[in-house]
Amino acid sequence: MKKIVECVPNISEGRRTEVIETIVDEVRKVEGVKLLDVNPDESHNRTVITFVGEPEAVKKAAFALCAKAAELIDMEKHKGEHPRIGATDVIPFIPVSNVTMEECVELANELGQEIAEKLGIPVYMYEEAAKIPERKSLPNIRKGEYEGLKQEITKPERRPDYGPPRMHLTAGATVVGARQFLIAYNINLDTDDVKIAKKIANSIREAKGGYKYVRAMGVMIEGRNVAQVTINMLNYTGTPLFRVFETVKSEAARYGVNVIGSEIVGLVPVQALLDVADFYLRLENFDRKQVLELNI
């Protein structure tokens, strides 16, 4: 069974279509990699690129993309609302199938080293691949953004994990790392009272004593007159979908409110849904190898 890793680089260009396309072409060229999404944001002047494939192919594509971005993007001229420190601002690897987080951390380190050595770009390792606890958090690394880091990069506490302690002339610096797959998940309530959605959101979010890997808010869905708990599932292995769904159902009942439905926004790893089936059918000894499509 194939190992599958997802990679979601963010580049500091969201306006010049031909530049974005030339950079993304580097990913398209790599055999064994499938480009899933290219999402440019004009006001952020930033593009989020999503692709998947086997670990080595994905690493190769990430490096090629980073090299081309360094060539075509000049951080001295870059302006945009989103915090950033480099042409390829951040490159996370995400385990999807038959790959451990440790393998993704190793992959991230290999890529970080390669970017530093071959392109001369300083690299910071973040999240699961952080070498220093303070660098687990991306905002910490990006403090002061490109302009600020340029001044401070020689300070001991801001030295990169790989590469020289000075910014690349055009490409700035890059953050590389590994993190869990993030599932965007919404649960819709049979009420138009957004306060109830907000209370339920508070019952499941980590910040308020809820589940460790859950971020949640209560909002109104425009045009549907329906209150919604909108959720980021930061780690579906640690906090599974069914547990959050059942908790929201039970908290909603407290207010005499029903759950109308839920929705998964964008992509989801198959395991997250197999875990749901496993839970509700109370499966005994189920192995994902039994799933025909995952056998091929």
Active site residues: 82
In the complex, the smallest distance separating the C-beta of residue 38 from a copy of itself, rounded to whole angstroms, is: 15
In the complex, the smallest distance separating the C-beta of residue 53 from a copy of itself, rounded to whole angstroms, is: 8
In the complex, the smallest distance separating the C-beta of residue 179 from a copy of itself, rounded to whole angstroms, is: 15
Q: Does 57 bind a copy of itself (CB under 8 A)?
A: no
In the complex, the smallest distance separating the C-beta of residue 245 from a copy of itself, rounded to whole angstroms, is: 5
**Residue number, 17 or 280, with CB nearest to a copy of itself:** 280
The Cα–Cα gap between 252 and 258 comes to 6
Site map for a copy of itself, 171-190, x if CB under 8 A? Answer: -----------------x--
210: Cβ–Cβ under 8 A, 6 or more apart, which residues?
202, 203, 204, 216
- Are the C-beta atoms of 77 and 13 separated by less than 8 Å? no
Q: Shortest CA distance to 175 belongs to which of 109, 268, 101?
A: 109
Amino acid in position 105: V
Residue 258 φ/ψ, nearest 5 degrees: -100, 155
Applying CB under 8 A, among 3, 15, 34, 198 the residue interacting with a copy of itself is 34
Q: Does 167 bind a copy of itself (CB under 8 A)?
A: no
Q: Does 253 bind a copy of itself (CB under 8 A)?
A: no
Specify the pairing of strand 183-189 against strand 259-265: antiparallel
Q: Does 245 bind a copy of itself (CB under 8 A)?
A: yes
- Are the C-beta atoms of 88 and 74 separated by less than 8 Å? no
Applying CB under 8 A, among 21, 36, 166, 254 the residue interacting with a copy of itself is 36
**Residue number, 96 or 101, with CB nearest to a copy of itself:** 96
Q: Shortest CA distance to 48 belongs to which of 89, 9, 88?
A: 9
- Are the C-beta atoms of 78 and 60 separated by less than 8 Å? no
CA Rg value for the chain: 21
Amino acid in position 270: V
Applying CB under 8 A, among 75, 96, 107, 234 the residue interacting with a copy of itself is 96
Q: Count residues near a copy of itself (CB under 8 A).
A: 41
In eight-state DSSP terms, residue 181 is P
**Residue number, 132 or 264, with CB nearest to a copy of itself:** 264
Q: Does 295 bind a copy of itself (CB under 8 A)?
A: yes
The Cα–Cα gap between 256 and 68 comes to 56
Site map for a copy of itself, 255-284, x if CB under 8 A? Answer: ----xxxxxx-xxxxx--xx-xx--xxxxx
**Residue number, 51 or 124, with CB nearest to a copy of itself:** 51
The Cα–Cα gap between 42 and 114 comes to 30
The Cα–Cα gap between 2 and 141 comes to 33
Specify the pairing of strand 123-127 against strand 46-53: unpaired
Applying CB under 8 A, among 21, 97, 129, 194 the residue interacting with a copy of itself is 97
> Given the rule CB under 8 A, which residues bind a copy of itself?
4, 6, 34, 36, 52-53, 96-97, 188, 241-242, 245, 259-264, 266-270, 273-274, 276-277, 280-286, 290-296
